[in-house]
Amino acid sequence: DGFWNYVVTHCDFNSTDSKDITFIWSYYYNKLEIVRFDSSVGRYVGYTELGVKNAEAWNSGPEVVQMRNEKERYCVNNVGNDYRSAVTKS
């Protein structure tokens, strides 16, 4: 009885080295991924008609620059803590 709109942000990593870390931001609508930013690609990619239109607009504006910086701010600064915590627990 309604529509679901949500964003998932996460970091994929297998070491604390920056080159081994990927920042992913995904926008979903009713369980369908509409558009994604992946730091390994370096731009937004749309998966639906609306997502493609948004990706085109965001890739030509300041949004893409901000998202490229999110890997450093969101992932690289925090992965070290997560990695150390996981290694000490295993």
pLDDT, residue 1, reads 65
- Cα–Cα distance for residue pair 77/57, rounded to 1 Å: 29
Q: Quick check: 49 pLDDT over 90? A: yes
For residue 45, give the CATH number of its domain: 3.10.320.10
What's the number of domains the chain is made of? 1
Percent of the chain with pLDDT over 90: 70
pLDDT band, residue 52 (cuts 50/70/90): very high
Contacts of 38 (CB under 8 A, 6+ apart): 22, 23, 24, 45
Q: Distance of CA 48 to CAs 34, 35, 58, Å?
A: 6, 7, 15
E strands present in the chain: 5-13, 21-29, 32-38, 43-46
Range of the domain at 51: 5-89
Which pLDDT value is given to residue 55? 97
Q: What percent of the chain shows pLDDT beyond 70?
A: 94
